[in-house]
Chains A and B, each alone.
Chain A
Amino acid sequence: MLRWFPALTLVLFLGPVAAGLVGTWAPAFGYLPSLGGSGFSLDPWRQLFAQPGLGKSLALSLGTGFTATLISLGIVLGFLASCHGRRPVVLVRRLLAPLLAVPHVAVAIGFAFLASPSGWAARLVSPWATGWDRPPDIATAPDPFGIALVCGLVLKEVPFLLLITLGALGQTPADRTLAVARSLGYGPATAWMKTVLPLIWPQIRLPVFAVLAFSLSVVDMALVLAPGIPPPLAPRILRWFNDPELGRHFLAAAGASLQFLLVAGSIALLYGGERLTARLGRRWIAAGGRGHSGRIGRRAGMAAMLLVFATGLAGILGMAVWSLARRWRWPDALPSAWTSGNWMRQADALAWPGWTTVTVAFAAALIAIALVLGCLENEQRNGVTPGSRGLWLIYAPLLAPQIGFLFGVQVLFISVGLDGSWAALVWGHLLFVLPYVFLALADPWRRLDERYARGARCLGASPDRVFWRIKLPMLLRPVLFALAVGFAVSVGEYLPTVFAGGGRFATLTTEAVSLASGGDRRVIGVYSFLQALLPWIGFMLAIGVPAWFYRQRRGMKIFAA
């Protein structure tokens, strides 16, 4: 039975992605019988290119996507290159989890709370420094150029890339490599860029591509932070899909296909840039420049990282403060009156979306864990290891833009009679939960000393008994951590909820997005803070339960890292 797990996983997980792409591309060329499109036609594309301001939308998508990706990558690499092995890295590592757990929408709303004209940042410096005795009449979050969107994306992508890069560093002999380079007279940051980065790049390349794909096609954050006239391509496509006039679906499908091409082309471009950088980099390495002591670089790297973390955490704090504010007049730095009434008044309205959020997230994460464990166990028992091509498959739903195939997934669900059901919602989330669960669990699972299992078999235990009694309990912590990762990913999903749920399910995320455009900040604060809180609770349990369970087992601490 175990042998079926990889196939089952691929069908459950890549099947909808493939079907979704087909189900999006066909209507883009006029074929969607249920809406009266039975022949092949280029009309949707003509209609698409006739949309006013399409060029602006494209430029906005490309500009924000590339800028956010390159800034995020630059901050992470610059910071690690200049601070490798120093205290700031230890500190950042400790603060990483809370920031990583916060859903995209909550990050965007938190940033808007900080940076909007009447936000916290303006309040702190007014009126004594700025002379503003009322909120200034300038558009900051959102702003016409997408700068706020870039900031929001950077706040979310830096922690992710940091996590991936730290993980890659842990698997390479980075410290020794660096020591050798330093002893040859290279400055610390130069040594890192010339000797460590080439070692870890193969492991961070796919995540960087995923970051680019996400940034180019983000919808939920764009709805909060991007300009509206015209919006970037992805949120604009969603608007077409939501148009009550069903004929617009063809236009939307063409737009979604264009979005897919945009992402594919951009990844190809980045790949080309990577090749070019590698060639130039070789020359740079061979030229033998030793670089400097790196003190200025270190300050800059630390300052950039500090800014990201401080902004991210301040945004979350801002949501919490707003959710407890009764009266908060401009330009007071804090509310003049506090209340728990915002929470009390929302309790009824929160109950149902909250319940949906938690149950769907838990179900999707559990199914993902079961599938991933089955695949990993099959890999070890039957000796089939997926190569690097397997990793591309795992990353597929993260590299393809969500809006590029989720409409097709919806069409698929309708055709099997699942649309708008709880099961469809879980399945839709599973597509994005599974890759992260796999990435979180694969390494710790494969790293477990195989002699434990061998020894147990020689003591007379069957493979199943070894799995349940030895491997699973020994790896309880990474398994629960992966479960929490899956839970957090699901809590934050916006588009899959909209499409797979057929508009019938509200989660904290969809509620927060629809409130964000103009609702009462105190109410938005309640929703978005709760949305950020749920993943935290998940991670606290994932860390706390095994720690309590194995409190008498000192040997289990080494598995805690």
Chain B
Amino acid sequence: MTQHETLRLRDVTVALDGQPLIAGLSLAVAPGEVATVMGPSGSGKSTLLSWICGSVDPAFAIEGHIELDGRDITRTVPEARRVGILFQDDLLFPHLSVGENLAFGIPRGVGREERRKRIADALCEAELTGFEDRDPATLSGGQRARIALMRTLLAEPKALLLDEPFSKLDAALRSRIRRFIFDHAIERGLPALLVTHDPDDAAAAGGPVLEIGAGGAVEATAADAGASAARKTGAF
């Protein structure tokens, strides 16, 4: 496994129509660590993630810098950033089979045999061996979430962004998928950044936690508290 480096955000401010949403956020996410940004809906936390992956709505005025692997990627086009993102919805492409969805993630230039092998391996890892030709619409919510993660990981990202990817799953599934995603990020040594409004998610992530408050003030919550909570909830 290649060794990844830290994802750094420096002095990020987000404003919409002159109203500050996030003021002065700085954060370093170490490889294999899942950091959390918490805030209520409309606090600009999803905007923060789309800014990091390079596809933010131009209506938002955003300043600050993103560094990944020692490069400043603030002005890089999205497809060259190597930042993977998972949304609330799995957004599997409905016109492609499960295998084709995964293939879409694999970088170009990888040979046909190798592509097939990587897809098979990814399906095996997601405990969905042999699902290549399935229609994504026939999969369960948990299966779809796992495929979405695999598709993102096959693109060989250097950082992983999680935009409340568990919030639409039911309670039982939620903690399992959450563990599945975190474990994969940690195992690959990826810096991961989660935004959520659910304290349970933050606790399970175990990394540093930032809270966006009124007027965009950013407050750091003790990382240790999160970590110990993670150990507790990590029992299942």
Contacts and interface: CB of A to CB of B under 8 A. Distances in A.
Contacts of B87: 451, 455
A452 B93 contact: yes
B132 interface: no
B58 A459 contact: no
B55 interface: yes
B78 A454 contact: yes
B94 A555 contact: yes
B91 A451 contact: yes
B45 interface: no
A554 B138 CA distance: 7
A470 B93 contact: yes
Contacts of B152: 458-459
Most B CB within 10 A of own CB, among A455, A458, A556: A458
A460 B79 contact: yes
A474 B93 contact: yes
B83 interface: yes
B107 interface: yes
A204 B67 CA distance: 50
Nearest to A546: B95
A458 B85 contact: yes
Which secondary structure dominates chain A's binding surface?
A: helix
Interface in A445-490: 449, 451-462, 469-470, 473-474, 476
B220 interface: no
B105 interface: yes
Nearest to B90: A455
B66 to A, nearest CB: 13
B146 interface: no
For chain B, the bracket of interface size reads: 20 to 34
A456 B53 contact: no
Contact of A458 (B53, B92, B135): B53
Contacts of B94: 474, 553, 555-556, 558-559
A560 B189 CA distance: 42
Contacts of A51: none
Interface string A421-453: 000000000000000000000000000010111
Nearest to B107: A460
Contact of A461 (B54, B79, B84, B96): B79
A457 B53 CA distance: 9
A133 B98 CA distance: 71
A473 B53 contact: no
A473 B23 CA distance: 41
A95 B183 CA distance: 55
A383 interface: yes
Given A454-B50, A470-B93, A474-B93, A459 B136 contact: no
A183 interface: no
A389 to B, nearest CB: 21
A552 interface: yes
B95 A553 contact: yes
A383 B58 contact: yes
A553 B139 CA distance: 12
Contacts of B80: 460
Contacts of A456: 93, 104
Nearest to B104: A459
A343 interface: no
Interface in B179-221: none
Contacts of A451: 87, 89, 91
B115 interface: no
A449 B107 CA distance: 24
A558 B77 CA distance: 31
A452 B91 contact: yes
A552 B99 CA distance: 14
Contact of A460 (B82, B89, B135, B136): B82
Interface string A526-561: 000000000000000000000000101111101100
Q: Top 6 closest A-B pairs, CB basis?
A: A555-B94, A555-B137, A554-B137, A457-B78, A454-B55, A459-B155
Interface of A: 383, 449, 451-462, 469-470, 473-474, 476, 550, 552-556, 558-559
Interface of B: 50, 53-55, 58, 77-85, 87, 89, 91-97, 104-105, 107, 135-138, 151-152, 155, 157
12 contacts: A383-B58, A454-B78, A456-B93, A457-B53, A458-B83, A458-B157, A459-B79, A470-B93, A474-B94, A476-B95, A555-B135, A559-B94
